[in-house]
Amino acid sequence: MEGIKQKIWEGFKAYWINALYITLFFSVFANYTRLILANYEISYAHYGVSLIKGLVLAKVILIAEHFHIGQGFEDKPLVIPTLYKSLLFTVCTIILGVIELLIRVLLQTGNSASVIDRFIGSFSYEWLAKMLVVFVIFIPFFGIRELSRVLGRGKISGLFFQKR
Buried b (16+ CB within 10 A) or exposed e, 114-146: ebeebeeeeeeeeeeebeeebbebbbebbbebb
Range of the domain at 11: 1-69
**Is 124 within 8 Å of 101 (Cβ atoms)?**
no
Question: pLDDT digits over 57-75, tens only?
Answer: 888 888 888 888 888 788 8
Question: pLDDT digits over 99-120, tens only?
Answer: 877 787 778 777 666 666 766 7
Pair (83, 31) in one structural domain: no
pLDDT higher at 117 or 36: 36
Domain count, the chain: 2
**Is 101 within 8 Å of 93 (Cβ atoms)?**
no
**Is 79 within 8 Å of 39 (Cβ atoms)?**
no
Pair (103, 149) in one structural domain: yes
CA distances from 155 to 48, 82, 101, 144 (A): 34, 18, 40, 11
Q: Among residues 21, 52, 69, which one ends one of the domains?
A: 69
Q: Among residues 53, 69, 85, which one ends one of the domains?
A: 69
